[in-house]
Amino acid sequence: MSKMKGHISNIIQPVFAIFVGLAVGTIAILLAGESVFLTYREMWEGAFGSLYFLSNTLERSIPIILAGLGVAFAFRAGFFNLGAEGQLVMGAVTTAIVTVYLPFQGFLNLVISIGAGMLIAGLLSFFAGWMEQKFQINLLISTLLLNYIAVLFAGYLVSEPFRDTTSSGGVAHSVMVEDASKLPKLLTGMNVHYGFVLAIIITILLAFIIKRTTFGYEVRMLGQNMFFAQYGGINRKKVMFISMLISGMLAGLAGSVEVMGMHYRFIEGALTTPQFAWTGLMAALLANSNPVGTAIIAIFLAALDTGALGVERNTDVPNAISDIIQAVLILFISAKFTMAFIKSKRKRGAK
């Protein structure tokens, strides 16, 4: 019974948050002087209105899903990986460089370059975990700060040694990926690429691992109660290292497929401006780190972005409408955690 109740509240919470977000969006639309119905219809049309728009939405959701899954997985084990942005960018830049310098092109090149991106991103995340273990450097802080190092370092790589000098370039970027090694599109003429299939497979895989495997059990136990888990013989160090590694690799994969399937090169700022990693974090938190839920909410958040483009094109409401709704969602998440904090404090006081 209580399990049932838990399930329902897990679904109701994000739905309620989204509802409030849309309600606040309504106020913004009214301020811009547009019809609310018309605007939300344009948003729906812009996100799902035709196969083309649907493909744009799904394409945008790919890095959000993958980065979100990465965060969700670490969070399940009780580790807060705020470094998804840096890991995503390092994965992307590694992939973009490796693919160009491999002596052969084609499918193998694609696999190796994406693998390399995931590896570097995973190691970056692992490094934060190692520092926590070795020097007690708080994960929250180290992962967050490593973002700056990773993003700036990636920017340096494409500004100096690996810069594409053939185009007049106002913005630093790497050399274009060869046609043969590109991640193919799912449908010709559409933007969505095979990264989406990959994202869905990984979602299902993660859900399975967390629910049905011994390692998944260890992860969940550690996340729920560290002392109980350790008392029960779970090796915290091992679980942390593995989950941080996987978390980083998933974030890296998000960047890698975006490079191989969408931009075909690493463009400085192109992966940080859209805030893929932070949107992924938001998806993971709204979904209580449930992999399937994370993927669904990631698609919804991507739809907000692409839908806002439709709103921008066809009404007087600017595309910042999507930012407004997402800002409300962030507030909601923060409020939820603060409430939990206050509640637990009260409980403690009562004792």
Contact region for other proteins (CB under 8 A) — 91-99, 125-133, 236-244, 343-351?
343-351
Contact region for other proteins (CB under 8 A) — 100-108, 124-132, 229-237, 336-344?
336-344
Return the bridge partners of 185, or none: 193
Write the binding mask 262 to 281 for other proteins: x where contact by CB under 8 A, - elsewhere: xx-x-x--x--xxx--x--x
Q: H or E element: which one contains 245?
A: helix 236-258
159 lies in the binding site for other proteins (CB under 8 A): yes
How many angstroms separate the first and last alpha carbons of the chain?
27
CB 245, CB 125: distance < 8 Å: yes
- Helix, strand, coil percent values for the chain (each to nearest 5): 75, 0, 25
CB 294, CB 68: distance < 8 Å: yes
Q: How far is CA 326 from CA 16, 168, 269, 291, in A?
A: 13, 36, 21, 20
Q: Can you tell me which of 40, 80, 217, 241 binds other proteins, judged by CB under 8 A? A: 80
334 lies in the binding site for other proteins (CB under 8 A): yes
Q: Can you tell me which of 65, 77, 82, 118 binds other proteins, judged by CB under 8 A? A: 82
341 lies in the binding site for other proteins (CB under 8 A): yes
- Residues 172-231, interacting with other proteins (CB under 8 A): 172, 191
CA atoms within 13 A on the CB side of 216: 12
CA–CA distance, 252 with 196 (Å, rounded to integer): 15
98 lies in the binding site for other proteins (CB under 8 A): no
Q: What are the φ and ψ backbone dihedral angles of 264, each rounded to 5 degrees? A: 60, 15
27 lies in the binding site for other proteins (CB under 8 A): no
Q: Which residue has the tokens 């744009």?
A: 56
Write the binding mask 282 to 321 for other proteins: x where contact by CB under 8 A, - elsewhere: x----------------------xx--x--xxxxx-xxx-
What is the nearest approach in angstroms of other proteins to the Cβ of residue 136? 13
CB 49, CB 314: distance < 8 Å: no
171 lies in the binding site for other proteins (CB under 8 A): yes
CB 171, CB 268: distance < 8 Å: yes
Which residues in this chain contact other proteins in the complex, by CB under 8 A? Answer: 28, 31-32, 34, 38, 52, 56, 59-60, 80, 82, 138, 140, 144, 159, 167-172, 191, 262-263, 265, 267, 270, 273-275, 278, 281-282, 305-306, 309, 312-316, 318-320, 323-324, 326-327, 330-331, 333-334, 337-338, 340-341, 344-345, 348
